Structure 1
């Protein structure tokens, strides 16, 4: 085979190798939760109805889907917003969202996860929500759940390190769907860099 044939073969197979997706079928439910840390370790985990939830994504180069976990913290006008998102798309989809809307800057302490009124959209929004489209402890769940004024939880900030740009904490909450079904989110922990 001469050099020009080799170049042609490389040009044919290179896009297939680059764009090909491999399926990672380890959804993390058999894993242990990461330890509670306060050092910017880039970790997130909790239990949903007693089953471990870890952010994980299928291996896919250039798929264009958001990261498996993300933490943002910023000020908009007089409101400070902390947003924590985690996603797992293996053997179904699960996403977790924690959102705090504060009148004062974030500090170490305990915050209630219930609901917030967002004036800019004239809507009440849950501070914690999860979308589940997979089996949880053998039960197929296909619904969205959120906190409200009666179904609540807590988020405790253990460390807010401005110079190293990370926030760490623990959380737990219950969330309800439109049919009245409740899911229990327990043993939550995160130690994430600010995006």
Structure 2
């Protein structure tokens, strides 16, 4: 009898749950600067985020700095979004995300990956499709990098422009 009452109570409480699912920016992690392991943005208004699965590297290799901040999904679209760079960055620095041959930093999206052919449908920001990122924290002692970003990228397979807005990241990085 007690088990039946508990099941009935659980069913009623589930049916009366008035809390809507998060939408848009409300689904993204908060903007922090603690090494929280977060990465999120809106892709054409739809939330895209990771908690604890951020890949962040800022390394000095052969006299040149290399930066990678991003997240890969096992499923879903797009498969990964990242900020990549070749050059030294600074805390409170604002950077253009543009053509990888002309700018220190650029945005990158892997739209799809074919495991059989090992081919990526991958595109970067360009001179026509730009963006910005601001490094709000670069703590080289504790290896924390945080910031915000936005950019657009043209998917060459379907000729559609994707708007990446409200981007934020906060992670420990490896060097």
Query: Could you tell me the TM-score, scaled by structure 1's length?
Result: 0.64
Change (3 A) 1:79 1:125: closer
Q: How many pairs were matched up? A: 144
Q: CA deviation at 1:37?
A: 0.5
- Per-residue deviation at 1:55? 2.6
C-alpha change, 1:91 and 1:175, in structure 2 (3 Å) is closer
| Aligned equivalents of 2:32, 2:44: Cα separation in 1 | 23
1:53 has 2:48 as partner = yes
State the Cα distance separating 1:115 from its structure 2 match. 1.9
Q: Kindly indicate whether residue 99 of structure 2 is the aligned counterpart of residue 115 of structure 1.
A: yes
Equivalent-residue separation in structure 1 for 2:89 and 2:70 (angstroms) = 20
| Pick aligned residue for 2:150 from 159, 169, 172 | 172
Residues 1-195 of structure 1: pairs in structure 2 closer than 5 A: 32-55=27-50, 68-91=53-76, 94-102=79-87, 104-117=88-101, 127-133=106-112, 143-179=121-157, 180-195=159-174
Give the TM-score, by structure 2 length.
0.71
Show structure 1 runs of 5+ residues with no match.
1-27, 57-66, 119-123, 134-141
The answer on whether the counterparts of 1:145 and 1:176 sit within 8 Å (CA) in structure 2 is yes
How far off is 1:126 after superposition?
A: 7.9
Within 2, Cα distance between the matches of 1:49 and 1:181? 11
Q: Which runs of 4+ in 1 moved over 6 A?
A: 28-31
Asked if 1 retains the 8 angstrom alpha-carbon contact of 2:86 and 2:104, the reply is no
Q: Which runs of 5+ in 2 are unaligned?
A: 1-21, 113-119
CA RMSD for the aligned pairs?
Answer: 2.9
Determine the C-alpha separation between the residues in 1 that align with 2:100 and 2:76.
32
Shift of 1:159: 0.5
